[in-house]
Every structure is written in structure tokens, then in C-alpha cells.
Structure 1
Amino acid sequence: MKESSQVMTFWTVGCLNVLLFLVIIIFSAHAPYFLMLTAAQLLYVPFTLHVIMNKDKSWIATYLPSLSIPVFLAVFLLHITDQTALDTLLATLYFVFTILIALYGITRFLKRGFVHFEEFIIDMGFFYIMIGGAWFLAYEANIDTGFSTILTWLTSIHFHYASFLLLVFVGLLGRLHKSSIYIWISWMVIIAPILVAAGISYSPVLELVSVLVYIIGIYGFIVLSFKVTFQHTMQKFFVRISFCSLGLTILFSLLYTVSHWARAFEVTIDFMLYSHGVMNTVLFALMGLAGWSMNVPSANPKIPTFPVSRIRGNGAVGEKVLTGKMDGNVYNGLVDDMRHFEPGIDTQTLSPAIIDFYENTNDYRLFAEVKWHTWFKPFAGVYRLISRYVKQINLPLSRKQVEMTGDIFSVNDALDGRYYTRAWVRKIKEDVTFVALYSSHQEEDRTYMNISLPLPFSAMTGVLELNQSGDELILTSESQHRKSGPGIYLAVKHHLFKLPMHERFHVKEGEKGTLQAHHRMTMFHLPFLTIDYHIYEKEHINKGN
């Protein structure tokens, strides 16, 4: 049976809304500048949703266009009538609609996690429009927000343009160009709306800082827009004009903020409405949407397909998670043969001591120095209370060197779902520190280490790429060769969610019979945990004694 075609699309809805918008222009009972928010609600929102949802077959993308029709009729009625008893109800319809948009963004995110950062930015835009909808409801319902009526309305328009539209445009740009600079300036425009809100509420200085953050981010995207190769000349022209116009209007915002902070001159709201507002409505939004609609960059559909361990913990993990899951095989090391990871490494030039450690791990003793970074210590303290019970990733708060004793057990592959799986159980004294299930998998021409840490009703999986520097070994979740695949993931049931975390091991040979390993973990590219290992061959220690 053929799939039924979608009855309504946001493109159709947007075209119908053009007629409503023209009627509003003629018969509106409100001041002309109110058309800026109306244009966003009736035109830019549906056409932008069409750009992202057009090929999506999810239930929200399928039915939301039809559900939006009464919503846009409600917006239409609000603008052609004076205040009525129904205003709050009509505005509530629009707010609920923005909640559904945010829900769509959340469902997109949960299917993928941080595996494609540019899509996460679009999801954040969908989330922010819900905040714009809330401020619109507050304005129409005369809810006391602590601000004047006009500032409440301006806050709604801010979240429609500077949050929703900007982040969607930035995400589309990221589909064409994604670099480390792109990621950093994207975070700036993600956090800037919150900084603006906090600055307006609490501190003119913070408001100034938020505008400066916006400026750095926006001008960064202007530069990137000139580095991107577009397929159509007109698209290139429109997109670049869109970002450049925003670079100009943000300077008006800077003048407005400085005028309130320094009080040396005055920039009025009226000036902002008819300069900053009109330029954003026409040049930024209209030109940008027209440009991206000409040829929508395709989303990267590739999602990780590597094997994931099926072993999960209950309330606690510890050694009990292995009960009934071990078999009769015997493994002495984390891997059987390091040549399995060639050509990523060259076992002819890699340190023989490193090779021996991974192939004969039971023959070594580990001493660790754990360092929680300062900004993360409060979270580490809370987590420590939990990890003592869970008995997984149960690391001390002290930096004092401790010995981690360990044993390797063979795990039943049929129960785990991967091949040649073995569990490395590490303890500090009698307390379980790690229960890590080691395996590997191959993608294209590379073999990756596949390490699963069972958690309560879930598992955290680290997919590490092996590289070599001289005779030293680098294991990292940040691939130098692939945009997806390596990383740290959270597996819940059949869902795989990429976390905003990375880890890197740097293993090198010290004195004869000794190794040093530096383990660094980051979250949102900020280091939060470092572990320095000193690894000794048991025979070497015995000789020393």
C-alpha cells in the first residue's frame, strides 16, 4: 500500500498566511511596528519550519501544519481587533503551538544527541521560540513580567528573530561548513539570549557583555558565510546580505545598551524599532529565509551503527552486573593482538611495552592520581555520594596516589552482543571503581576500541580511535578521520545518544618496564577530569623489592 501523501505542509500554510498578512496590513488596529512580530509569526515561522520539516515523516512534522491553521487564525484575529475577552485564549493557542515546535526540536535531539552539532543548534532555535511564545502570551494577557508592556513585546520579538531564526540559519550554515571556530561562535549565539535576559533583569553591565558576545558570534558567521561555497549565486548573495545586515543591526543594540549604561547619550526605543527592527525584519529574516529556501542544505543522515553492549545495571552496578554473564574463556589482556588495530597504529614501531600492557594487562599494576578540575568539584562531590552506591566510575575526590587493582573476566558474547568481550574490573582497596566491558568493531578501514560501562538501566559507551605518535599510543573519542562514530554515547534501551563529552588517553613508555598514561576527559570541550596512571610490570616491582 502506498503511503498517504501529507495533506498540508508549512509551505502551503505560509502561502495562505501571506493573504492574512496583507489583510492585517490594511485593517490592523495596532501601530505599524507591531507588524514586525506578526511577520515572524505568520510568515517566517511557517516557512522556516518548512525548510527543516519538509522531508520529515515523523508524526509531529506530519500533523503540525494542519494543527497550525487555527493558531495562525488566532494570531490574525489578535491583530485586526482591539482588546477583547478572548485575547488570552487566542495568545494561548500560539503559545501551545510554540511548545509543540520545541517538542519537535527535543525529539530530533533525543534521536541523535550531539552527533551533528549543527542540528543541535537548529533544535535550540526550536526551543527558544517557545520562550518567545511565552512572552507573547504575557504581553497579550497583560501578565506582570516586571517590565513595561513594550519591553515584554520586544522580548517576544527578540526570541523570534535573534534566537529562533538566527539559530536555524546558523544550523543551515553548519551543514555546509563546520569547524572548531564554527562550534565556538555557535555556543556564543546559543547562550547570548539568556545573557541578554539576565542583563536586562539584573545588570546593565551583563547586558553589555551579552551584546558583545552576540557581536563576536555574528561577525564570526559573517566571515564564515564568505568562506562557504554555495551552489547558487543568488543564494550566496541573499545569505551573506542576511548575516551582514545582522552585523549592522547588532551595532544599534550596542549603542542602545551603552546609552543606558553610560548615560552620555540617548538611543530611544522608537529609534530601535524603526532601524534595528525593520532591518532585521526585511534584510535579515526575509533575505535569509529566501536564500536558504533556494537550496536547502541536506542534513547529515549518518548516525552511528556500531555494536552496543546489551549489558545494563540495575540500581547498583559493581561486580554483580557480571553475575551469570561470564563464560569459560580466559583473557590475560584488554586485547588479544594489537595488530588488530592496524593501520591506525604500526606495531613495528609502537613501544613493545605498550603492546605488552594491552595484550597482557593482568601482568601489570596501576597507580592512579585523580584530579577533578576546580569548576567541576562541586558536581564531583555530589556524584561521589551516588557513585559509592552505584559502584561504577567511583573515583576518589583526593589527588593522593592510589593503587587500582584489577582482574579481567571473559563475558558471554551472546549476552553482550559484541565479540571477544572481556570485563576489566578495577578496585581501590575493596571498593569497585570501574567495571568496563572491552571489545572492538571495524568501520571501513579502521578498527575502534569499543568500551562499555554499564550504568543503572543504561550503559555509557566509549568508541575510541587508536593513533600513534612516534612510539607512543593515543586513544581518543575525537576522530581525526571521521565526523561521526568515535565518541562517548549513552545507550538507553535501543536508543543511542551521543554525549557532549570526549576522552583522550596518551600512553608512553617511561623507565624500562614502566608506562605512563594520561587520561583527560572534557565536557563541552572543557576539561573536568584528569587521571595520571603510573603502570608497572609486576615482575619489575618484584625485582625492585
Structure 2
Amino acid sequence: MNVYKTAVLCGLMFFLSAAFHEGPWYYLLLTAAQLVYVPLVLRQVIQEEDWFYKTYKWIAPFGYGSVLLLHMLGPSPAGPILAGIYLLFTVFVASYGATRFLKRGFVRFEEFSIDMGLISLMIGGGWFFAHIAEVDTGFSPIITWLTGIHFHYSSFLLPVFAGFLGRLLKGTVYRAAVSILIVSPVIVAAGIAFSVWLELFSVILYITGIYALIWHSFKADFPRGKWLIRLSFLSLGITILFSLSYASGNAFGEYAVSIDTMLKFHGVLNGGVFALAGVIGWSVSTPASAALPSFTVSKIRGKQHAANLAAEAQIHVGLVDDMKIYGLKTTDTITDFYEHTSGYRLFAAVHWHTWFKPFAFFYRWISSRTEQIHLPLSSAQKEMTGGIYTVREGLDGRPSVRAWHRQIDEKTVFLALYSYHQKDGETYMNIALPLPGCSMIGILELSKSGDSLLLTSRKQNPSSDAGIYLAWKNYLFKLPLDEVFRVEETEKGKLAAIHHMKAAGIPFLTIDYIICKKQESSF
């Protein structure tokens, strides 16, 4: 009912704008996006419990009303002011997209697609303002306007529709297609500005992403409106061919499609089929977003020292009281190491990957001040010393918290706070590394590989909490980092462990550990 009322109001604003419109008919394509498609799509994205919803109800009339007044007043000195109001409204929408992202981080790729759509609307608002205010952008007025409409349809509507699709079905093909769709409009705009060959390349890339998305839409299971949604994506498969023909003409100097033809067919199909069918289809079948992780996070922040976190400097024997809580049967030595960690010596060889070494020098300067993850640049094997302490009850907020303080050459390398949490019958290792004003959180899944123990932040199923996060105030931001530990028994009383870390899927750090009982150590 709320969507129906919004649609009626949007339709009235658009037809009223059309009645006062004095320019070429095709300029109404942007007006349709501003007064119909933007408000209807936002109505599907906004959650009523969000801070944005309460503020949006008061700000939206100014944003949409300014566009309506522009048509009613016609060319006037008030035009740039009204366009500026709409631009500020799009900045407000972009701030909502940024807030959604900061609450979640690099998790739920489909939601990231929606975030990028919300943020990109601001760019469309900027080009719209430039057109109305007659700002010298270096392009003709029609190209300035076309860029504005490009960011309203291709960079706002399409990523949001793609995000809705990802809520129903996702995978490697989906992520690749959406990545292309998010990047391509920016490359297209850069190609229009700087290079006809870049423009042609971006359109070919765009075609790949769109056709992958069309294929994906026929695999998804829609409760309602499936043919409207599929028609919406299919229409893009046609309109993008006009873009290819136009870009080819720019590159080779043989024009088969003119701007006028683009406006008549490409523009009308985008505005009348892709956008309209998509908005209606998704409004009758808007999929809900997945719940965000809700596990308990350490309350401890800032630079810490082990003795400050201990209960009267009470030393504890192990990181885990009983490994049975993880539901795994590991070898006796692995189990004993986690339950009696202080009875073992730890030797580490740190290997920074070649591409990361220039960054490692700068990173070391920071880590020396935070005294956290302060790893040596040398790959020489060195002993890690330190101790394990019981954290004062109630200070951290999680159960059975153990502070593991590790040093190399009497300099702090790590201070990690170990605990656990349970969800859906699975127990996760919940590790916090306090940082200034925040905390890095590692949620690890435990599993067996033969006789080896694997601890990984990579999700093994979509509902898993596994990941590396940054906790700041009430935000829990998932970082694009992955880590995998493999622990195996090499001989009785001795373990070997390897720790791999990746950033955005690229390996940057490997640590090799040798672990042995103190009385048996020959190091």
C-alpha cells in the first residue's frame, strides 16, 4: 500500500512536470528517473527502522519538489538554486549508501552493489546541476545531460536491481558480473571524456556483465513478477547493442547510430522498459536483505598491556579450557597445545610477500606504536616468548577470555584476546586484537583435514560468522582480509603450523611456526 501511494504521487509529479516542460521531449527521460524511479527504488531499499528513513521523510519533498519547480518555472535565475537542492538531496542519499557499507563492510556483495548505486546517484546529481547551471564541463550541453542520465539509470538503478537479484541467487558468475557493472559506467564516462577506444572497450566489458546478469536472472527463483524483472534485464541486452554501435562509430569513424537514434531507441527502452518493468517487478517481489552478524564483540579498545588486563597478573595455562567445545577430535598434542599453551615454545619465521614489502616498511612504523601485529621484516626464525593471562571478569564482555601476549626480542608482537561464541550449533573461535579506538576481530571456523587442524576466517557456508572485522563503536566492518591456519603434528610433542594471510584475495603474509614442548625443545 505504501509503495502504491508513492507510485501515484510520483506519477502525478511527473505528469505535472511534463505539462510545464518546454524543452525537447527526451529531457523528460531524466525527469522520469528523478521523480518516479529514484523515489520508488529508494522506497524498496530503505528500512523503516533506519535513521535515514526518519530524515528522508522530511528531506525528500525538497529534493523532488526542486525538480518539479524547475519545470514549472522554466528557465529562470532560480534554476541553479533548485538544481543545487536536488544535488544536496543526492549527496544525502549517497551518505546513506556509505553508512550502510560502514555498518557491514566487505560482506554481502549484493548489498555492496546497492550501496554503490546509492553513492553513484550523487554523481548523476552533479552532472544534472552542471547542465542546469550551465557549468563549463568541456562538453556540449547534450553530452552533459546524457552523462547525468547515464548515472541515474546505469549507475543507480542497475546496481540496485542487481543487488536485489543477488539476494535471491549469487555465486562466482554473479560477483564477476556485478563487479563489471559497477566499474563499467565510470570507464564509459572516462571514455566519453578522454578516449574513444577506452569508451569502446568499456562498452564491450559492459556487454559481458549485462549478458551474465541476464543469464543469472533466468536461474533465479522469483516468488512474483519474474517476467517483468527478466524483461527489464533483457531490454538492457538490446539497448547496450546501440551503445556498442555508437561507440564503434566513434572509434572507426563510420556512424551507424547517431545521438538522435540513441535517444529514440536506447533512451526510450531504458526509461520505458528497463526502468519501468524493473521498478514494478521488484516492487511486488522485493527480497529481504540477509541479517548482519550479531556475535558478541570484545569491549576492550586501545593500546593495552597484558598485566593491565589480568586479574592480579594471574597467569593461565592455555588459550582454551576444553577443546571439546569445538566438537572436534584432534591429536593429543594439538589438543594439549591449546589447553596448555604456556607449556610450549613457539618459533616463527615471518615471510612478507615481495609485492607487499614496500608497504611493510610503512606498516612497521605504525605497528611499533600500536604494539599490535608488530612483525619483523626479516624472515629469520625467531622465538616468540610471553605469557597467557586471565582477563578480569566483565572487562571484555565475552566468556573465558584469555590474553595471549607474544614478544620477539622483548618487544611486543601480539596481544590477542581469545574467546568463543556459538551460533546454529557451531562454535567459533572469537579473537580480538585491541587497537587505538577500535579492535580487530577474527572469527575462525575450526575443522579437520586428515590429522591437521584448520582454523580459517573464510566462510564455509553463507550463514557463517567467519571473517575478519573491525569493531568501532557500534559498527562491525568486515575487512577484505582472509587468514588460514593449518596446525599438524610432526612428531609426538612437536607441531608445525603455517599461517597464510590474503588481502582482497592476494597473499601478502605467510608465517611458519615450529611448536614444541618446553622440556623437549632443542632450540
TM-score class, shorter: over 0.9
Task: Tell me the CA shift for residue 72 of structure 1.
Answer: 2.2
User: Does structure 1 conserve the Cα–Cα contact (< 8 Å) formed by 2:21 and 2:74?
Assistant: no
1:145/1:396 CA distance change after superposition, 3 Å: farther
Between the aligned residues of both structures, percent identity stands at: 50
User: Does structure 2 conserve the Cα–Cα contact (< 8 Å) formed by 1:13 and 1:65?
Assistant: no
Match of 1:435 in 2: 415
User: Does structure 2 conserve the Cα–Cα contact (< 8 Å) formed by 1:10 and 1:46?
Assistant: no
C-alpha deviations, 1:241-297, integer Å up to 9, x for none?
Answer: 111111222232223223323335554322222222221111211111111011211
Match of 1:96 in 2: 88
- SS for the counterpart of 1:326 is strand
- SS for the counterpart of 1:358 is helix
Give the whole-Å Cα distance in 2 for the aligned partners of 1:157 and 1:434.
Answer: 51
C-alpha deviations, 1:367-413, integer Å up to 9, x for none?
Answer: 33333345544443322221111111112334444433332222113
User: Does structure 2 conserve the Cα–Cα contact (< 8 Å) formed by 1:10 and 1:65?
Assistant: no
Match of 1:28 in 2: 21
Match of 1:121 in 2: 113
Give the whole-Å Cα distance in 2 for the aligned partners of 1:386 and 1:282.
Answer: 54
Give the whole-Å Cα distance in 2 for the aligned partners of 1:71 and 1:102.
Answer: 13
1:168 aligns with 2:157: no
Match of 1:334 in 2: 319
Give the whole-Å Cα distance in 2 for the aligned partners of 1:256 and 1:111.
Answer: 41
User: Does structure 2 conserve the Cα–Cα contact (< 8 Å) formed by 1:504 and 1:521?
Assistant: yes
Match of 1:296 in 2: 286
1:464/1:88 CA distance change after superposition, 3 Å: same
Give the whole-Å Cα distance in 2 for the aligned partners of 1:206 and 1:520.
Answer: 37
Task: Tell me the CA shift for residue 84 of structure 1.
Answer: 1.6
Task: Tell me the CA shift for residue 321 of structure 1.
Answer: 6.0
Give the whole-Å Cα distance in 1 for the aligned partners of 2:199 and 2:307.
Answer: 54
Match of 1:137 in 2: 129
User: Does structure 2 conserve the Cα–Cα contact (< 8 Å) formed by 1:312 and 1:321?
Assistant: no
C-alpha deviations, 1:41-60, integer Å up to 9, x for none?
Answer: 0110011111122x513343
1:219-238 equivalent positions in 2, closer than 5 A: 219-232=211-224, 235-238=225-228
1:242-261 equivalent positions in 2, closer than 5 A: 242-261=232-251
Match of 2:445 in 1: 465
Match of 2:11 in 1: 18
1:148/1:456 CA distance change after superposition, 3 Å: same
User: Does structure 2 conserve the Cα–Cα contact (< 8 Å) formed by 1:310 and 1:416?
Assistant: yes
1:308-347 equivalent positions in 2, closer than 5 A: 308-313=297-302, 317=303, 320=305, 322-323=307-308, 325-327=310-312, 329-342=314-327, 345=328, 347=329
1:454-533 equivalent positions in 2, closer than 5 A: 454-533=434-513
User: Does structure 1 conserve the Cα–Cα contact (< 8 Å) formed by 2:98 and 2:115?
Assistant: yes
Please, which runs of 5 or more residues in structure 1 have no aligned partner? Answer: 1-7
1:397/1:148 CA distance change after superposition, 3 Å: farther
Deviates more, 1:149-158 or 1:14-23: 14-23
User: Does structure 1 conserve the Cα–Cα contact (< 8 Å) formed by 2:318 and 2:339?
Assistant: yes
1:426 aligns with 2:406: yes
Q: Which amino acid aligns with 1:177?
A: L
1:111 aligns with 2:103: yes
Deviates more, 1:269-278 or 1:401-410: 401-410
1:374/1:200 CA distance change after superposition, 3 Å: farther
1:375/1:148 CA distance change after superposition, 3 Å: farther
Match of 2:364 in 1: 384
Give the whole-Å Cα distance in 2 for the aligned partners of 1:441 and 1:433.
Answer: 25
- SS for the counterpart of 2:394 is helix
Q: Which of 28, 34, 42 matches 1:41?
A: 34
1:275-290 equivalent positions in 2, closer than 5 A: 275-290=265-280
Q: Which amino acid aligns with 2:152?
A: H
Q: Which amino acid aligns with 1:530?
A: T
Deviates more, 1:448-457 or 1:511-520: 511-520
Q: Which of 33, 47, 63 matches 1:71?
A: 63
1:260/1:406 CA distance change after superposition, 3 Å: farther
TM-score (norm. length: structure 2): 0.93
Task: Tell me the CA shift for residue 31 of structure 1.
Answer: 0.7
Give the whole-Å Cα distance in 2 for the aligned partners of 1:371 and 1:280.
Answer: 52
- SS for the counterpart of 2:404 is strand
Deviates more, 1:27-36 or 1:15-24: 15-24
User: Does structure 2 conserve the Cα–Cα contact (< 8 Å) formed by 1:303 and 1:484?
Assistant: no
Task: Tell me the CA shift for residue 504 of structure 1.
Answer: 1.6
Task: Tell me the CA shift for residue 464 of structure 1.
Answer: 0.8
1:307 aligns with 2:307: no
Task: Tell me the CA shift for residue 80 of structure 1.
Answer: 4.8
User: Does structure 2 conserve the Cα–Cα contact (< 8 Å) formed by 1:211 and 1:253?
Assistant: yes
User: Does structure 2 conserve the Cα–Cα contact (< 8 Å) formed by 1:9 and 1:65?
Assistant: no
Give the whole-Å Cα distance in 1 for the aligned partners of 2:55 and 2:4.
Answer: 13
Provide the alpha-carbon RMSD of the alignment: 2.4
User: Does structure 1 conserve the Cα–Cα contact (< 8 Å) formed by 2:372 and 2:413?
Assistant: yes
Q: Which amino acid aligns with 2:294?
A: T
Give the whole-Å Cα distance in 2 for the aligned partners of 1:148 and 1:332.
Answer: 73
Match of 1:5 in 2: none
Q: How many residues align?
A: 523
Give the whole-Å Cα distance in 2 for the aligned partners of 1:203 and 1:532.
Answer: 48
1:372/1:131 CA distance change after superposition, 3 Å: farther
User: Does structure 2 conserve the Cα–Cα contact (< 8 Å) formed by 1:371 and 1:531?
Assistant: yes
1:247/1:524 CA distance change after superposition, 3 Å: farther
1:527/1:149 CA distance change after superposition, 3 Å: farther
